Structure 1
């Protein structure tokens, strides 16, 4: 809501992406109840490191908003992003927001501010649909989930205000910091625990 007041939201491509995320996420959530995500857990730090190195190497990446597609073509690419990352979010989850932002910058040509704004709606859709499936199956610890949800909302309000105030360059720096933190956290969880 905060982003939509200041950033032009690409609804014609964003809604299909969110819809595709709604489809992909419960499929991923169902698959994770059937198989062990251990291999993906081991690959995640490497994937995140690749994303970080690419972002650092491309100094101007995401600094300027120059969408590569328009109309139906952008909607199809965005829906592909939503479906793929939605599946990932339902299946595993860590780094979903970063992957969404990166995909919007890299594939669609958005700057980091517009990519972050677009990623929020898709991430809400993927989280919501996976949550429903996990809740039905009794896998949600509500006493923790509610506290985390409130904390997430507060952090989101602060982060969005900072992003809108400081722009795409600031969001890029925060993105890099968050990806580095995720690399450390996932590498520790995977290899050192």
Structure 2
């Protein structure tokens, strides 16, 4: 496994399990798993960490999606259509990323995330109940924002895609946090498959390591999905706020101190 020590492998397994848990609850597990891979393999190009991260994440998000589908009702067809649009948009974002410095985008994303955190804090009932009429205009807006916009962002930069999807689905489609998380998992499976296909074609996936981490990630995803279903929207909302704070810190560090 590219001369990785047992200590480093154990640390990667723990990171993968925690990332799977975070992803299953609210998205954003890549904030933990991707840096761990970059630290473990500093001699390899970053593309290998990105490719391996996708190979691991696709297993965890699939496990979480199956768990949600068995335990809570949500529109799987809508989620799959959103996922297809997001996957196509992420490919476009990946091509766009080649000509854009991520340092230009990070400050904009930080401001957006701080706005999201303020919104969730000031709206304590946001995402708790869900329901209500969803007009065709709102559905189209969801495809534009959650499918095209966030899918494109996933290709350009990536961190926090699941978090943004949850917020968009709650705001635009009147979903509660649990239903939004379930829908997000299906969308994430689609975008991860698309990205993994590209990384596989480029030969930047550590296939000797990925299955081990994928099993850990899947275990964390099962646990996270069950906890979200059991504890409800309030629990997901709390994890969302913690994840947003972590994402802001990570992006700020990359922008100004790394």
Q: Which runs of 5+ in 1 are unaligned?
A: none
Aligned counterpart for 1:64 among listed residues 108, 117, 129: 129
SS class of match (1:107) = helix
Aligned pairs, number: 192
Question: Retained in 1: the 8 A contact 2:228–2:235?
Answer: yes
Q: In 2 relative to 1, CA 2–109 (structure 1 residues): closer, same or farther, beyond 3 Å? A: same
Q: In 2 relative to 1, CA 147–66 (structure 1 residues): closer, same or farther, beyond 3 Å? A: same
CA shift, 1:30, in A, is 1.9
Q: In 2 relative to 1, CA 164–96 (structure 1 residues): closer, same or farther, beyond 3 Å? A: same
TM-score when scaled to structure 2? 0.68
CA distance, structure 2, for counterparts of residue 164 and residue 186 of structure 1: 30
CA distance, structure 2, for counterparts of residue 140 and residue 189 of structure 1: 23
Q: In 2 relative to 1, CA 150–46 (structure 1 residues): closer, same or farther, beyond 3 Å? A: farther
Matches within 5 A, 1:156-175: 156-175=221-240
Partner of residue 86, structure 1? 151
Matches within 5 A, 1:77-156: 77-80=141-144, 81-142=146-207, 145-156=210-221
Q: Does 1:13 align with 2:55?
A: no
Question: Retained in 1: the 8 A contact 2:138–2:172?
Answer: no
When the two chains are superposed, the root-mean-square deviation of aligned CA atoms in Å is 2.0
CA distance, structure 2, for counterparts of residue 67 and residue 137 of structure 1: 45
Specify which structure has the bigger relative contact order, considering alpha-carbon pairs within 8 angstroms and separated by 6 or more residues: 2
CA distance, structure 1, for counterparts of residue 100 and residue 109 of structure 2: 17
Partner of residue 3, structure 2? none
Question: Is the radius of gyration larger for structure 1 or structure 2?
Answer: 2
TM-score when scaled to structure 1? 0.89
Name whichever of 127-136 and 148-157 sits farther off: 148-157
Q: Does 1:76 align with 2:140?
A: yes
Matches within 5 A, 1:18-29: 18-29=83-94
Name whichever of 34-43 and 110-119 sits farther off: 34-43
